[in-house]
Structure 1
Amino acid sequence: MKNISIQIPSMVENIRIVESFVDNAKEVYSLTDDLYGNIMIAVIESVNNAIIHGNKLDKDKLVSLNANLSDEQIVFNISDEGAGFDHHELPDPTAPENIENVGGRGIFLIKHLADEVDFQQEGRNLQLTFYLS
């Protein structure tokens, strides 16, 4: 099993570091372009949520990103130091009253791009699983 990880301060400009992390994962794990695209969007959205909603843009709080590869799958763990949230209480972005809202689609998008999404530690940790075949 191959494992790579980083920690970044909670500043939106650090998303470029996460993009480099995913680019590195593509090389280390020899990911297909389709899988790489899904991972890039889902991981960026997850880290962005951790920075903005979890750690409330507090640069003294860290977001941790970890990737583990096995023969069958790659698993990303994104953790923040925030208060957490109840992912069951999120409004449905496809409901008519929410269609024109600017935000609120991140978790919906993540759930459609990753093969498995698991919220842990009251929403402070998000585990994204992508199958390799």
Structure 2
Amino acid sequence: MKTIKISIPSLIENIKIIESFIDNAKESFEINDDIYGNIMISVTECISNAIIHGNQNDKNKLVHLELNVEDDTLKFTIEDEGVGFDSNELKDPTAPENIEKTGGRGIFLIKHLSDDVKFEENGKKTILSFYMI
């Protein structure tokens, strides 16, 4: 198993660093283009949520990203230093009463683009899995 870690201060412009991290992983682990697009959208959305919602844009708090590569699975673990959230309380953004609302689409997207999503530590840690087969 290979593991790569990075931590960034909670500034939205640091998403660029995460994009470079994913680009490097694409080269290192020969990730195909189909999965690469899903990874880029899911991981950057998750990091964005961690910065904005988890750490409340507090640049003194970090967002941690860890990539574990094992066999044919890529696992991205994103962790913030906030108080967490209850993933069961998330509203369905496709429901008629929520269709006009601006929030709630990120996790919906992440769940549809990732092969598996787990929320741990009261929502402060998210694990996104992608199968490379």
**Matched residue type, 2:36:** Y
Q: Distance in 1 between matches of 2:23 and 2:5?
A: 13
Q: Which runs of 5+ in 1 are unaligned?
A: none
- What TM-score results when the alignment is normalised by the length of structure 1? 0.98
Q: What's the secondary structure of 2:83's corresponding residue?
A: coil
Q: Distance in 2 between matches of 1:11 and 1:36?
A: 24
Q: Distance in 2 between matches of 1:70 and 1:63?
A: 23
**Matched residue type, 1:110:** I
Aligned residues: 133
**Matched residue type, 2:3:** N
**How far is the alpha carbon of 1:51 from its aligned partner?**
0.2
Q: What's the secondary structure of 1:74's corresponding residue?
A: strand
> Corresponding residue for 1:99?
99
**How far is the alpha carbon of 1:103 from its aligned partner?**
2.1
> Corresponding residue for 1:122?
122
**How far is the alpha carbon of 1:15 from its aligned partner?**
0.4
- Once the two structures are superposed, residues 90-109 of structure 1 have per-residue CA deviations (whole angstroms, 9 ceiling, x without a partner) of 11101101111122100100
**How far is the alpha carbon of 1:5 from its aligned partner?**
1.0
- Measured on the aligned residues, the alpha-carbon RMSD in Å equals 0.6
Identity of aligned residues (%): 61
**How far is the alpha carbon of 1:118 from its aligned partner?**
0.3
Q: What's the secondary structure of 1:38's corresponding residue?
A: helix
Counterparts of 1:28-67 in structure 2, within 5 Å, are: 28-67=28-67
